[in-house]
């Protein structure tokens, strides 16, 4: 027979696993922005969005947390398993690209197969109402494709977004807003 302390220890350990699991490990959905330009908004730093320090984005620009959004198209890559390409909505020739532990804008791949331009996006809830202000996806994690242990994380205004180990914090959650 198991002792009371063994049972309590096992219960605490199993409960801790559920508390510390990243959102990707829970039931999720894939956003469908339906071809519309969207903003990617930080859950932790309300009002901060994926942005660019330049008013006209250029190849090589670093993606930052900003009060002014970089409007983007979040589109499925057409590859299996499902992944997404995030392109500048005003210049589809520029795609968000994972470069080391940062995100930059780089020349978009025409084939949708450039590995560092593919992202896995898993949201806690998804919507289809394209009215401005509504979300295609809420509380979403964004990870370099095939690397679910790494998540994009937002810092404070003007700081670069970083790709770090997933920890389930709100700094690693984003809303995809029409």
- What is the C-alpha separation between 137 and 39, in angstroms, rounded? 11
**In terms of Cα–Cα distance, which of 39, 110, 107 is closest to 77?**
110
| Residue 19: its H or E element | helix 4-20
Selected residue with higher pLDDT from 12 and 73: 73
Are the CB atoms for 53 and 64 separated by under 8 Å? yes
Domain 4-177 belongs to what topology? Trefoil (Acidic Fibroblast Growth Factor, subunit A) (2.80.10)
Residue 175 has pLDDT above 70, yes or no: yes
Check residue 26 and give its pLDDT: 56
| Residues 81-110 pLDDT 10s | 899 999 999 999 999 999 999 999 999 998
Residue 106's beta-bridge partner residues?
Answer: 95
Distance CA 143, CA 23 (A): 12
Question: What pLDDT digit, counting tens, does each position of 31-71 carry?
Answer: 999 999 999 999 999 899 999 999 999 999 999 999 999 99
**Interatomic CA distance for residues 65 and 51, integer angstroms:** 6
pLDDT tens profile 26-36: 579 999 999 99
Q: Is the pLDDT of residue 22 over 80?
A: no
The closest of 178, 172, 163, 165 to 97, measured between CA atoms, is: 163
The domains of the chain are located at 4-177
């Amino acid at each position: 027979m198991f002792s009371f302390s063994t049972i309590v220890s096992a219960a605490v350990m199993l409960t801790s696993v559920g508390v510390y699991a990243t959102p990707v490990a829970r039931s999720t959905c894939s956003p469908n922005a339906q071809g519309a330009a969207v903003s990617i908004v930080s859950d932790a730093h309300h009002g901060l969005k994926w942005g660019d320090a330049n008013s006209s984005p250029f190849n090589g620009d670093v993606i930052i947390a900003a009060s002014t959004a970089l409007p983007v198209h979040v589109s499925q890559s057409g590859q299996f398993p499902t992944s997404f390409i995030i392109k500048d909505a005003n210049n589809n020739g520029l795609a968000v690209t994972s470069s080391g532990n940062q995100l930059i804008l780089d020349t978009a791949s025409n084939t949708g197969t450039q590995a560092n331009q593919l992202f896995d996006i898993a949201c806690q809830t998804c919507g289809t109402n394209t009215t401005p202000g509504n979300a295609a996806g809420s509380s979403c994690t964004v990870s370099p494709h095939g690397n679910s242990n790494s998540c994009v994380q937002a810092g404070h205004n003007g700081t670069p977004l970083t790709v770090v180990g997933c920890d389930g914090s709100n700094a690693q959650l984003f809303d995809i807003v029409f």
